Amino acid sequence: MATALALQKIRSWLTDLGVLTSRPAAFGVFIVYGLLWVSIGGGLGWHDLATLSTWGMTLVIQRAEHRDTQALHAKLDELLRVNGDAKNSLVTLDDKDAEEVEQERARFRS
């Protein structure tokens, strides 16, 4: 029981971390880290540049994916709101962990 609770808390933290990396503040952290890396780390070699570029592109992709997902959810929420036959419980499904969403999808498919 305690293990299941710990796993649920870890999943929740990972989801929250994913959301945090899509926020504009993550770019600020990235810029500060990059400046510190260049000034304290002894310059900017090829490996350093590749690492920072990869990290920066990951943040850009994460931001775009988060925006697209939020737009899609807003559209689906509106469709659920206007359709009288839809289940209102589905509106809050995006607040759950990925594993819980998969369980809900499996339940609706059967």
What residues contact 86, with CB distance under 8 A and at least 6 apart? Answer: 79, 80
CB 99 within 8 A of CB 11: yes
CB 8 within 8 A of CB 97: yes
Residue 1 has pLDDT above 70, yes or no: no
Q: Quick one: which of 17, 11, 10, 8 has its CA closest to 62?
A: 17
Total number of domains in the chain: 1
- Range(s) of the domain holding residue 24: 2-109
- Considering 3-7, 41-45, 55-59, the range whose residues carry the highest mean pLDDT is 55-59
54 — pLDDT class (breaks 50, 70, 90): very high
Tell me, what's the pLDDT at 33? Answer: 87
